[in-house]
Amino acid sequence: MPCLTMSAMNGFQIGELCALLEESQVMETLVLRNCNIDDDALARIVTALTQDPVRADLQAVNLGFNQITSAGVQHLLQLIASRPQLETLM
């Protein structure tokens, strides 16, 4: 389970994370709590998570205590729509 709690991430690190997410074969839970993720970074992360239409293992995503605004809600809706098996979104 990838877990990056209280790790302020910059643009380069977001890119590295997205590359890892795109290559990951199995991931049930992703915790990115308090990582200073804003709407732009969230868009990149959601794109990485939704690249593989066959991936059906992601069940929980924790994005609590980040810099996500109402503009980021559209990205979260995209994630929910592409991953109906997602049980928990924090």
pTM (2 d.p.):
0.89
Q: For residue range 70-90, what is the model confidence (pLDDT) as tens digits?
A: 999 999 999 999 888 899 999
Fold entry, domain 11-89:
3.80.10
CA distance 37 to 59: 20
Give me the helices (H) in 3-89, please: 11-23, 39-49, 73-82
Average pLDDT of 28-32? 90
- Please report the pLDDT score of residue 78 as a whole number: 93
Summarize pLDDT for 39-61 with one digit per residue, the tens: 999 999 999 998 876 567 889 99
Ranges of each domain in the chain: 11-89
| Average pLDDT of span 65-73 | 95
Instruction: Identify the pLDDT of residue 62.
Output: 94
Using DSSP, state whether 89 is helix, strand or coil: strand
